[in-house]
Structure 1
């Protein structure tokens, strides 16, 4: 016969409940430390987090060990791990802000919009926004390898110095993508040299037949960046007017676009 459990006996806490409680208490301590730029002692943090001092001491030691806090002269400060979390959150927020802006522009202007940068010797399309009625160009040939053939790549290459351009073209030589693609490196380099600062670079059916594109250069310190649009060839007359509209909008978002290069 099994012994009966006294109704006054407390059942042991479920493991997951204990874990969640510990996480919640640790988060309260992190929040208390974050609110104290000049650091705070354990007793003060325990009081602000509403914790018993022994519990606070145990959690603080754990957080220091894991790098979320560091202790100096009896005071606790945020550690590198916590700062990395904050940096990651800020980056995600900037990325979301950029994506939202591109989507709004795409819907308002009725064109797909691309945001790209030149990083570590490569063309990198950071974000694309389009709509069912105005779809983005299909990447049928690798954008990184065909920078000479599309407005995004030409715009980014135009912002590099001569050595940077030649280095890129040595790795990704000029080749025909369509019958309209620039024919050789010399012709491409002359075109890039003639590109005027802050003026859109236009490409007509060089990357994809039936498509025209315009790319706007963005000044972002030492990093080349661009925002571009594409349209069906039969709407070529809209290309430059829409690009000018977009250029005006970019001015309002330039800071966010520039900062997002670190994403």
Structure 2
């Protein structure tokens, strides 16, 4: 079989794009050159091209993902939804609870999809997802599965708001809790009194996410329900086999 024809400049541009996408903070040109092992003049040339086309944006501190890349990413997410929602609906019906799918993208935790529980029950997300990763089961599941660099960047760039008396607001305590090796993450009325959420992490081809269920605090997650939650995480990982966070 003949070797494929590869265009070196495209490969180099993609390496820069991937480096920026993998960082929670803007990256300067010199650091990008070191990370990608590209000559600095080549790096500057490719960065200008990517900025002109809208795939990167020049901001204070360096380069961040641009609007064109985010448009591609959002279109990819929309294509996933028909494969995602049946899994969430099945889990919701099985557990009798609202279900949530979240992912880590561009330094933030995003809610991709939600299915309400019986009688339309779901958690009122009164504090935005971006501001409450430290207080939610899905936020903890995601943060625990990020690289140390990305996790530290997230924690250092977000205030640990005191949402309930149970919320962890100390950076040290949060980091220690995230170091635990657990298959299911829980918040014990840390986001909303009377409600506890449970989440299983999702890792697939560069994707870091979590699937979660919200239950009244007096209801514990039974062993068979834990199995169902982990099975849903595996199914969602397969359904979203194409990376969501690399562009």
* TM-score after normalising by structure 2: 0.63
CA distance, structure 1, for counterparts of residue 235 and residue 209 of structure 2: 16
Map residues 8-23 of structure 1 onto 2, 5 A cutoff: none
SS at match of 1:179: coil
Larger radius of gyration: 1
**Cα offset for 1:148?**
0.5
Match of 2:234 in 1: 251
CA contact (8 A) 1:94 1:260 kept: no
Q: Establish whether residue 160 from structure 1 lines up as the match of residue 146 from structure 2.
A: yes
Aligned equivalent of 1:209: 193
What secondary structure is seen at the aligned counterpart in 1 of 2:173? helix
Aligned residues: 175
CA distance in 2, matches of 1:212, 1:240: 16
| SS at structure 2 position matched to 1:165 | helix
- Aligned residues of 2:164 and 2:190 also touching (Cα < 8 A): yes
Alignment of 1:94 with 2:80, yes or no, is yes
How does the TM-score come out when normalised to structure 1?
0.60
Per-residue CA deviation, residues 188-243 of structure 1 (Å, 9 max, x unaligned), is 001111234xx0111110000000111101112333111111101121x2365423
Higher RCO (Cα < 8 Å, 6 or more apart): 2
Contact 2:97 2:118 in 1 (8 A): no
Distance 1:95 1:205, change over 3 A: same
Structure 2: give runs of 5+ residues left out of the alignment: 1-74
The alignment status of 1:114 with 2:100, answered yes or no, reads yes
Is contact 2:87–2:235 with CA below 8 Å preserved after alignment?
A: no
Please give the alpha-carbon distance, in whole angstroms, between the structure 2 residues aligned to 1:121 and 1:93. 22
